Chains A and B, each alone.
Chain A
Amino acid sequence: MIEIEKLSKSYGRERVLRDLDLQCERGSTISILGKSGGGKTSLLKIIAGIARQDTGIIRIDGVDHSQTKSSLRKAYYIFQEPLLFPHLNVFQNIAFGLKLKKTDKTVLHAQTTTMMEMLELPEHATKYPHELSGGQKQRVAFGRALVMQPQVLLLDEPFGALDTETRAMMQQLYLRLSGELNFTALFVTHDLKEALTVGDKYAVLKNGSCDIHNGIESLMADKESGLEAEVSFWSNYMNNA
């Protein structure tokens, strides 16, 4: 479970987060929507511990991690670009975090192999990133995070650069993994359909704070989410067709 209380962050004079409160139950995913530059990435990076908040409290499974080092939070950030290490092959990329933790070789091998199987990657184990497709690269990036058995997964538009078909496939993969591994996740996306597909709840970030919506009706009522406009566009389109 993630609990955020009164989180604030400014860059110079620009205040991107102001007294933001957010809660995400264990094993569930919150889809985060909002305008570009609205603080979504900052929020995720602060939770991951790779950026610092000005004020505010971050609790993960009841433990205060407001000032903890990034590596101790068990909250892993997945970037929009897969950021695979070009000098490492698929196996080595997935095992990257385990190797940093100096995990026993047999355990490392077993866990990495299991993860590759879950992600349908075994036949690509010795391939290097430049030999992989966009979807495969993002699967490796997922594997690298999931093999660390995260308590929290922070996804910053992970499928933003993929084509529609691969994107849909990755969303289904995400749902399967989320069910199997039961991680808690915050999932930033600009795509409403994706937000509705992967999220159990929805958060709309505006003016540095966020509104939580438990269902589609509530999200529809929030003009900033863009859902109402989207729905009315499609219904008009269908009516006119």
Chain B
Amino acid sequence: MGNKWFFNLLYFLFSLPLWMLPFFWMAADWPFPNLFPTTYTVRSLAGIPGLGQSIGLSLAISLSGALISTLTGFILSKEVAYHRHHHHFLLIGYLPLLLSPVLYAMSLFYFFIMFGLDATVVGIMLGQQLILLPYAFILCMGHWTDTFANYLQLTENYGANRIQKVRYLLFPMSKKLLFLCLFQTFLISWFDFAITSYIGVGQVKTLTVLVYQYLLEADYYFAAGISALIIYPPVLLLIFNRLLAKGLAFLRTELPST
């Protein structure tokens, strides 16, 4: 019985962001020590200046970033995984992921200025690839097993050309991984604040940058509205696709020793 209460409390806490943020978004006044807002108001998200553009920017940056990193990571990992020094390359692949993204961006910022990429969408996309690409690479590495190598040899033995290899082997047998990798890299990009704010100099206003801006301005209602907008799409996707949720959790735990 005690366990049941404990877990229900836990699940309530986990789901807190899902109802608390929209709730706060609709609050008009919340004086201390009232537990709930005293008055509510119907705010339109359209009332947040520049929100439409921010959504568009965030979507464009995250979608393109996820596509580029997944495809590149997939192709590179295949070559690396079957190389005799693959374990050393795997170690190298991990290194960029361990650094603090903001410090990584800072150490390269001069070059972004030099090429006129600071405060630009392209600059942010490139900056995010510093993290997304190694991430996708690491995720895909586990896919290339000895068995998969045998499948590759088998298709070669049966005369598959390059397109047929992709169509009959690589795509059907990797589509789950590709989908999960796309989703995961999309999430990293969608959630990114550090690289985006540093390379974008706060001028490329993605959703996370907008949240931080409203937090600085102490406009917590707006910050709550935008935060809800950031978390709802991925959480809904996870709710409707348990496979995705399980896969996501699995992929995040897929470190070499596990």
Contacts and interface: CB of A to CB of B under 8 A. Distances in A.
Please determine if A and B sit in direct contact within the complex, based on CB atoms under 8 angstroms apart: yes
Interface of A: 12, 45, 48-50, 69-72, 76-77, 79, 81, 83, 85-87, 96-97, 99-101, 144, 148
Nearest to B84: A12
Nearest to B164: A100
B169 A85 contact: yes
B257 interface: no
B39 interface: no
B150 A79 contact: yes
4 pairs of A and B residues whose beta carbons are closest in the complex? A71-B159, A97-B158, A50-B153, A87-B172
Contacts of B172: 85, 87
Given A83-B147, A86-B173, A87-B173, A96 B158 contact: yes
Nearest to B160: A100
7 contacts: A50-B156, A71-B158, A77-B157, A96-B158, A99-B168, A100-B155, A100-B160
Interface string B165-192: 0001100110000000000000000000
A71 B157 contact: yes
Nearest to B169: A85
Contacts of B169: 85
Given A83-B147, A86-B173, A101 B159 contact: yes
B67 to A, nearest CB: 23
A115 to B, nearest CB: 14
B159 A97 contact: yes
A36 to B, nearest CB: 15
Given A85-B172, A86-B173, A76 B153 contact: no
B154 A83 contact: yes
B232 interface: no
B168 to A, nearest CB: 7
A81 B147 contact: yes
Contacts, number: 53
Interface residues of B, number: 17
A99 B154 CA distance: 14
Given A71-B158, A76-B157, A81 B168 contact: no
A100 B156 contact: no
A77 B200 CA distance: 55
Given A81-B147, A83-B150, A148 B156 contact: no
B30 interface: no
A96 B168 contact: yes
B151 interface: yes
A146 B143 CA distance: 30
B247 to A, nearest CB: 17
B156 A71 contact: yes
Contacts of A101: 159
A77 B154 CA distance: 7
A71 B160 CA distance: 8
A157 B250 CA distance: 34
A76 to B, nearest CB: 6
A96 B173 CA distance: 15
A83 B173 CA distance: 12
Given A87-B172, A96-B168, A48 B150 contact: no
Nearest to B161: A100
Contacts of A12: 84
Contact of A70 (B84, B159, B168, B173): B159
Given A96-B158, A100-B168, A101-B159, A45 B173 contact: no
A45 B160 contact: no
Nearest to B171: A87
